[in-house]
C-alpha cells in the first residue's frame, strides 16, 4: 500500500480499491494498533484513532487537500502516486 506521508507515529496511505468499498475518495490512517478511513471531504468512513491524532490528521488534510485529490486521480487512473510532506 502506498504510504503518502508519516508524522508523529501516524501513517497515511492511499490505494485503489477494486471493490470500491467506501465509494468516495479517501485515505487510510494508522496509528499504533488503531485504524481509520477518512474521506477527502473529512467524513469518517470506518474505524477510529485517538482524538489528538485525529486532530493532527485533519490539520494535515486541510493543508494538503489539493495534493490528496491529485493523488486520488493518479491512483484511480493506474498511475504512480507522489509523497506528501508530513505535518511539521
Q: What is the pLDDT of residues 15-69, one digit of tens each?
A: 876 565 657 899 999 999 999 999 999 999 999 999 999 999 999 999 999 999 9
pTM: 0.90
| Three cell numbers, residue 80 | 504512480
Cα 40 from Cα 61, distance rounded (Å) = 8
pLDDT surpasses 90 at 78: no
- Tell me the CA distances in angstroms from 51 to 31, 58, 64, one per residue in order: 11, 10, 20
Strand partners, 39: 26
Q: Which residues contact 6 (CB under 8 A, 6 or more apart)?
A: 12, 86
Query: In 10 A of CB 52, how many CB atoms?
Result: 9
Amino acid at each position: 500500500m502506498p504510504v503518502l506521508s508519516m508524522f508523529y507515529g501516524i501513517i497515511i496511505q492511499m490505494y485503489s480499491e477494486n471493490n470500491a468499498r467506501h465509494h468516495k475518495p479517501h485515505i487510510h490512517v494508522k496509528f499504533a494498533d488503531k485504524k481509520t478511513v477518512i474521506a477527502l471531504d473529512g467524513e469518517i468512513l470506518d474505524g477510529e484513532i485517538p482524538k489528538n491524532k485525529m486532530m493532527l490528521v485533519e490539520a494535515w488534510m486541510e493543508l494538503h487537500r489539493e495534493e490528496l485529490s491529485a493523488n486520488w486521480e493518479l491512483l484511480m487512473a493506474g498511475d504512480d502516486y507522489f509523497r506528501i510532506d508530513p505535518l511539521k
